[in-house]
Amino acid sequence: MREDLQVFDNVLQLIGNTPLIHLNRITQDFEGDFFAKVEAFNPGHSTKDRIALHIIEEAEKKGILKPGDTIIETTSGNTGFSIAMVSIIKGYECILAVSSKSSKDKIDMLRSMGAKVYVCPAHVSADDPRSYYQVAKRMHDEIKGSVYINQYFNELNIEAHYKSTGPEIWKQTEGKITHLVACSGTGGTISGTAKFLKEQNPNIRIIGIDAYGSVLKKYHETGEFDSTEIYPYRIEGLGKNLIPTATDFESIDKFVKVSDEESAHTARELAKTEGLFVGYTSGAAVQGVKQLAEEGEFDENSKVVVIFPDHGSRYMSKVYSDDWMNEQGFFDSKHEKSTNRIEF
Ligand code: PMP
C-alpha cells in the first residue's frame, strides 16, 4: 500500500477518515457553525463499513472466524452491504435477513455484492418468528461455523465508533466541537462517538434523532419501554421498536423526534442547497438541527457536527422520486412539488 500515492491493497483500506464538510446555506439562519460528517465517502457509501470491518476483524482475532465461514446479520441494507463487501475481500459467505421496508435498490445491491438475502415482514414484533431477528437467529443456530453480527446487541458496534468516528471528529474540529447530532438506530454511532468525545470534553452536548413511531426518546426520558409509542413509519435505519443494548442512553443528553415528511423534504433541500446527495436519515438529522435551533439549543459559539450516515443513491425510488413523495402525500401547500421539471 502507498497511501501517499493513493494506492491501496484492497477497498477495505479506504474505510473511515471521512471528510467534515461545512454547511453553508441550509443552516445559515441559525446561530453557530454546522458541519456534516459525510459517511457516504466510505467505500460502501455508509457509516456501517466501520462496524462491519471492526466486528469481523475482532472475530478473526479471537479465532472465531475461519476462511469460508458464514456471516449472518439483520440489516436495513447498509450494514448488509458493508458486511457483504468485507466478506468478499476476506472470503466469507454472507447471509442477510432484511426488512421488507428496505428499498428495492438496497436489496438488489446486496444481491449484487454476493449476499444471500431473505426479505422479512417489517411490521411484525421482534419476537415474531417471521421477524428478521428471529430468521437470523434460526439460521445462526442451523449453520455450523456461522457468526451472527447482531448489531443491535453487540458492544463492538459502539467500540467501532469509539475507535474511529469519535477520534476523527475530535481531530477535525481541533477539539472545538460543542454539539454532536446523530440519528439513533442501533445507537452504535451516537454512543461510541459520544463516549470518545465526552472523555475529551464532558460538556459536549450529544443529541440523538429519533422517529415518530419509535420508543427510543420516551425510553430515554422515562426508563420505560412504552409499546404504545410504536407505529409504522417510513424513515429507514432510524428509531426502533425495541431497546438496543448497543445504545448507551446515559451518553445521550437529549432525543429529538422528526417526522417522515419534514425529513424527506430536508434531504431534498440538502441536495439543492449544499450539493450533498445524501440519504433519508441525513435529512432527518438536519431536520432535527432545525428543530433544535428553534428551541434555542445553539448560540454563536456552537460548533455542531451532524452525522450524515449514507448516500442518496440508495433512495432513488423513495425520497428522490416525486412519484413516491406524491403517494405519501408529502406534497402539500407547505411543500410544493419540484419545479425544475419541464413537462411537454
Ligand atoms: N441512518 C441509516 C441510513 C442507517 O442505516 C442507520 C443504521 N441502522 C442509522 C442511520 C443509525 O445508525 P446507528 O445504527 O449506528 O444508530
Q: What is the DSSP string of 98-126?
A: EETTS-HHHHHHHHHTT-EEEEE-TTS-T
- Beta strands at 20-22 and 33-38: parallel, antiparallel or unpaired: antiparallel
Protein residue closest via CA to atom 12 of ligand 1? 185
Q: Which three cell numbers stand for residue 123?
A: 411490521
Distance CA 104, CA 112 (A): 12
Q: How many angstroms is it from 183 CA to the middle of ligand 1?
A: 7
Q: Which three cell numbers stand for residue 206?
A: 450529544
What DSSP state is assigned to residue 83? H
Q: What pLDDT, on the 0 to 100 scale, is given for residue 339?
A: 55
DSSP 63-99: T---TT-EEEEEESSHHHHHHHHHHHHHT-EEEEEEE
Q: How many angstroms is it from 341 CA to the middle of ligand 1?
A: 32
Q: What pLDDT, on the 0 to 100 scale, is given for residue 122?
A: 84
Give the side-chain half-sphere CA count within 13 A for 277: 7
The Cα-based distances of 108 to 81, 118, 323 in angstroms read 10, 12, 21
- Beta strands at 70-75 and 33-38: parallel, antiparallel or unpaired: unpaired
Phi/psi region, residue 37 (left: phi>0; alpha: psi -120 to 50; beta: rest), is beta
Are 100 and 119 in contact by the 8 Å Cβ rule? The answer is yes
Does the ipTM exceed 0.95?
yes
In a mutational test of the pocket of ligand 1, which residue from 159, 183, 186, 241 has the highest number of ligand atoms less than 8 Å from its CB?
Answer: 183
Q: 126, 256, 141, 124: which is closest to 190 by C-alpha?
A: 256
Pocket lined around ligand 1, Cβ cut-off 6 Å = 76, 78, 183-190, 237-238, 279, 281, 309-310
Are 260 and 287 in contact by the 8 Å Cβ rule? The answer is no
Q: How many angstroms is it from 336 CA to the middle of ligand 1?
A: 29
Which are the catalytic amino acids?
Answer: 48
The Cα-based distances of 7 to 4, 13, 67 in angstroms read 8, 10, 26
Q: What pLDDT, on the 0 to 100 scale, is given for residue 338?
A: 62
Q: What pLDDT, on the 0 to 100 scale, is given for residue 343?
A: 60
Per-residue pLDDT of the chain (344 residues; tens, 9 = 90+): 787 899 999 999 999 999 999 999 999 999 999 999 999 999 999 999 999 999 999 999 999 998 899 999 988 688 999 999 999 999 999 999 988 877 787 889 899 999 999 999 988 888 899 998 899 999 999 998 899 999 999 999 999 999 999 999 999 999 999 999 999 999 999 999 999 999 999 999 999 999 999 999 999 999 999 999 999 999 988 999 889 999 999 999 999 999 999 999 999 999 999 999 999 999 999 999 999 999 999 999 999 999 999 999 989 989 999 999 999 999 986 776 765 566 66
Report which ligand 1 atom has the smallest distance to the Cα of 188.
Answer: 15
Burial (CB count within 10 angstroms: exposed 0-12, middle 13-18, buried 19+), residue 224: exposed
Distance CA 123, CA 109 (A): 23
- Chain-centroid distance of CA 291 in Å reads 20
In a mutational test of the pocket of ligand 1, which residue from 55, 78, 99, 149 has the highest number of ligand atoms less than 8 Å from its CB?
Answer: 78
Q: How many angstroms is it from 238 CA to the middle of ligand 1?
A: 6
β-sheet bridge partners, residue 276: none
β-sheet bridge partners, residue 36: 21, 306
DSSP 174-218: TT---EEEEE-SSSHHHHHHHHHHHHH-TT-EEEEEEETT-SHHH
